[in-house]
Amino acid sequence: MAFIEFSRGVEEVPTQVRLLKSKNSDRGSAIFRFETLKTPTNDLYGMRMVDSEGEIVCRELRAKYINGQFAALEVIYEMANQSEWDRFMRFMQEFSASNNMGMNG
């Protein structure tokens, strides 16, 4: 079972995940968008992606507010090499299966 959490024990599911990969290098990025959260926004310090292999931690969080109201949270996970890309893709396959989500593209 794979899951994402900002606060231990509180699982979150992103609204959208976009993947970007450089054509000229092994660098890549994943951009997660969360439009609803179970975790209070003042408790957001990082995102943990946990699966059967362990955990991946990302600390680049960007909260979006419209007229003072929470609108979305974007999390950007940067991958510097093919090994990190492959590890992330294994997490996403397990996460997708655990949450009845499809991967396309």
Give Cα separations from 27 to 9, 58, 72 (angstroms): 31, 16, 26
Please indicate, yes or no, if residue 60 is contained in any of the structural domains.
yes
Give dist(CA 20, CA 62) in Å, integer. Answer: 18
Q: Quote the number of domains for the chain.
A: 1
Please indicate, yes or no, if residue 11 is contained in any of the structural domains.
yes
Q: What is the pLDDT of residues 38-85, one digit of tens each?
A: 999 888 899 999 999 999 999 999 999 999 999 999 999 999 999 999
> By residue range, what is the domain housing residue 91?
3-98
Please indicate, yes or no, if residue 78 is contained in any of the structural domains.
yes
Please indicate, yes or no, if residue 105 is contained in any of the structural domains.
no
Domain CATH for 73 = 2.40.30.220
Report whether pLDDT(19) > 70.
yes
Q: What is the pLDDT of residues 82-103, one digit of tens each?
A: 999 999 999 999 999 988 876 6
Q: What is the pTM of this model?
A: 0.90
Query: Would you call 43 helix, strand, or coil by DSSP?
Result: helix
Please indicate, yes or no, if residue 103 is contained in any of the structural domains.
no
